[in-house]
Amino acid sequence: MNGIHPWSMPAEREAAMTTIKEKEHEPMATLILNGKSAQLPAVREAVSACRKAGTALDVWVTWEAGDAVRMAERAGREGAARVIAGGGDGSVNEVVNGLMRLPAHARPGLGILPLGSANDLANALGLPLEPGPALEAALHLPLASVDVPRLDGRYFLNMATGGFGAEITSSTPKSLKRLLGGGAYSLIGALKAWQYRPYPVTLRWAEGEREASLFVLALGNGTRSGGGQRLTPAARIDDGLLDVLILRDFASLRDMATMRRELQRRPGAGAYVETFRTAWLSVESRSELPLTLDGEPCHRRAFRVDVEPGALGLALPADCSLLSGRSTGQPAHAAAS
């Protein structure tokens, strides 16, 4: 398979090609690796070990934003049975968007090699975080059918956030995220809390409609965002539904304390906290609303989010806490993985 930005590892690649000839029945896996992680010794050792063990693994390295989207689509069209996203939550998001360009029956299975600063999705899924075990898991764990939400034309796998939380995530410098990991979000949040502004919005979904002065909005397919914040702890990645969290504007420290107590009593509704589940949600804002999709920033005045149930096969441990049990075995489009 001719890759884009192929990883230059002559000896390992030659060994891998020999293995392919010996095991032509074994489908190819493609690792799409964030360029910033390509030279990490632990990553190179993990790839080398997998190839020496006989795994047919191609490695493509990204150069700029959007590469992983194009590479994932190309890998699927060229017959990869499994595509592995090597990077942070943003890299996973790009790979998902590339795979979702393919017809459902032609989508490879997805594996995750977490190499970011927060790795919110991988942490929530209970995946290994060290490169060696993580790559083995991404290649060999069974696939479970998982939902993929869509915000207008963009997909996300873990969570979309809006309001103050999204503003924190989008304004945190990447250098600070690398230095402090998930703690960078807490630091930026503390620095910005005194100057935040609420966002008046109208929310509509199948069972209701709500006007709200929004502090934070979270639409969870997964449970964690922003460096470990469990915004939607009851979310399941295969139930066909979004877990919605609304935090309303507050005026005083006493109100903030009330909001924190209500958060601890979830699920339910209170003066400042509301949670519910829905297959779709539309939002209209009076001003540009800061958003993140799997941590990647954007802005919208109006948008709609829909869930595509069982749209991808994801390599997961059988005891993953984000599985509801509604998945009906291996997805048809990934049967060859």
Compute the Cα dihedral for 201, 205, 210, 212 and give only its sign.
Answer: negative
Identify any residues that bridge with 242 across adjacent strands, giving them in sequence order.
Answer: 278
CB 215 within 8 A of CB 247: yes
Residue of 155, 156, 107, 116 lying closest to 134 (CA atoms) = 116
For residue 164, pLDDT beyond 90: no
Number of residues that make up the chain: 337
Q: Are 98 and 127 in contact (CB under 8 A)?
A: no
| Closest-CA residue to 91 (of 125, 115, 123, 110) | 115
Q: What is the pTM of this model?
A: 0.82
Is the pLDDT at 43 greater than 60, yes or no?
yes
Instruction: Give yes or no for residue 270 having a pLDDT over 80.
Output: no
Assign 228 a pLDDT band (cuts: 50, 70, 90).
confident
pLDDT in tens, 87-99: 999 999 999 999 9
**Neighbouring residues of 49: CB distance < 8 A, sequence distance ≥ 6:** 132
Q: Where are the alpha helices (DSSP H) in 3-88?
A: 10-22, 41-52, 67-77
- pLDDT at position 153, please? 92
Over residues 6-16, the pLDDT tens digits come to 454 444 444 44
242: tokens are: 């979004």
pLDDT: which is higher, 172 or 313:
313
Are 265 and 258 within 8 A, CB to CB?
Answer: no
Q: Considering the candidates 12, 78, 296, 308, report the single residue annotated as catalytic.
A: 296
pLDDT at residue 274 tops 90: no
All structural domains of the chain, each given as residue ranges with its CATH number in brackets, are 10-141 (3.40.50.10330), 159-308 (2.60.200.40)
- 243 close to 315: Cβ distance less than 8 angstroms: no
Retrieve residue 172's tokens.
Answer: 């945190």
- Exposed/middle/buried for 9, CB within 10 Å: 0-12, 13-18, 19+? middle
Are the C-beta atoms of 232 and 223 separated by less than 8 Å?
yes
Collapsing DSSP to helix, strand or coil, 128 comes out as coil
Quote the CA–CA distance of 190 and 36 in Å, as a whole number: 29
Average pLDDT, the chain: 83
Q: What is the pLDDT of residue 229?
A: 84
Tokens 């000896």 label which residue? Answer: 11
Q: Which of 149, 97, 92 is nearest to 121 (CA)?
A: 92
pLDDT at 105: 95
Question: Which residue blocks in the chain are alpha helix, DSSP H?
Answer: 10-22, 41-52, 67-77, 89-99, 120-125, 131-140, 164-171, 174-180, 183-192, 253-264
Tell me if 104 sits within 8 A of 311, measured CB to CB.
yes
296 is catalytic: yes
pLDDT score, position 166: 64
